[in-house]
Amino acid sequence: MIFHQFFEVESSTYTYLLASEQTREAVLIDPVASEIDIYTQYLEMHNLTLVYSLDTHVHADHVTAANLLRDKFGCKTVLHRNSGVNCGDIFITDQSVIRIGEINIEARYTPGHTNACTSYVAEGMVFTGDALLIDGCGRTDFQEGNAEILYDSIHTQIFTLPDETIVYPGHDYKGRLVSTVGHERLHNSRLGAGKSKAEFVEIMNNLNLPYPKKIDIALPANKACGQ
């Protein structure tokens, strides 16, 4: 398997490329519109064909590259059915699988940050979007956010994966690249060490976060799959 982690500095967004060595087919998870030249260069350099662009949810902090990539490479745009957008090609639901060459990418529905959040599991890795972050999680105070639902999603869909599963989040704001399911289950300061749902909800209800600065631009753009 070919794997690459990209970082977009303005919104601290991680984008992931997975590709089959056999078929040279590639997918991008959570691509950012401004970075399309970087993805193009990487694909060309490694002789890869972009087949799918997957978004873990409708982002509020950056604009997806879905449309740009579809226009450029003819790839299919994949989103959860609950995303409320009608510009996608394939609307997956829990347990749907997208396959490229020898790689199966399984969708796990993990709502709570938004109503359409999906994590993707492949090759011992889980791409958690904004559901589970490293030592944190996505906020739950907008876009149908719900702390109780997020707690259940993380416990039933992510923490049930093997301890050694590598966690690749949708963002990190402190330079951390990667974690594991076992580490987050033990040490995540909002969810780790057996914190109860009530404790988690209490934490989430008292974050006092500012209004997301790009939401009024990013949400309408992403509901149209980007630029």
Q: How far is the CB of 197 from a copy of itself (least distance, A)?
A: 27
- 103: nearest Cα among 30, 179, 41, 17: 17
Pairing of strands 125-129, 90-92: unpaired
Site for a copy of itself in 6-45 (CB under 8 A): none
Structure letter (DSSP) for residue 154: I
Instruction: Name which of 76 and 185 has its Cβ closer to a copy of itself.
Output: 76
Which of residues 93 and 189 has its CB atom nearest to a copy of itself in the complex?
A: 93
Instruction: Please say whether the dihedral angle defined by the alpha carbons of residues 154, 158, 160 and 163, taken in this order, is positive or negative.
Output: negative
Count the alpha carbons within 13 Å of 171 in the hemisphere toward its beta carbon.
18
Q: Letter for the amino acid at 213?
A: K
**For a copy of itself, how many residues bind (rule: CB under 8 A)?**
17
Least separation in angstroms between residue 57's CB and a copy of itself is: 16
Q: Which is nearer to a copy of itself, 41 or 93 (CB)?
A: 93
Q: x/- binding map, residues 67-96, to a copy of itself, per CB under 8 A?
A: ---------x----x----x-xxxxxxxxx
Taking the least distance from each CB to a copy of itself, the nearer of 6 and 109 is 109
Distance of alpha carbon 47 from alpha carbon 26, whole angstroms: 10
Residues between 98 and 137 that touch a copy of itself (CB under 8 A): 98-100, 104
Query: At 181, which helix (H) or strand (E)?
Result: helix 181-187
- Nearer to a copy of itself by Cβ, of 94 and 141: the residue is 94
x/- track of binding to a copy of itself for residues 189-218 (CB under 8 A): ------------------------------
Distance CA 134, CA 187 (A): 9
DSSP state of 114: S
Instruction: Quote the least distance from Cβ 76 to a copy of itself, whole Å.
Output: 8
Q: CB-wise, 131 or 225, nearer to a copy of itself? A: 225
Contact call for residues 8 and 62 (beta carbons, < 8 A): yes
The residue ranges that bind a copy of itself (CB under 8 A) are 76, 81, 86, 88-100, 104
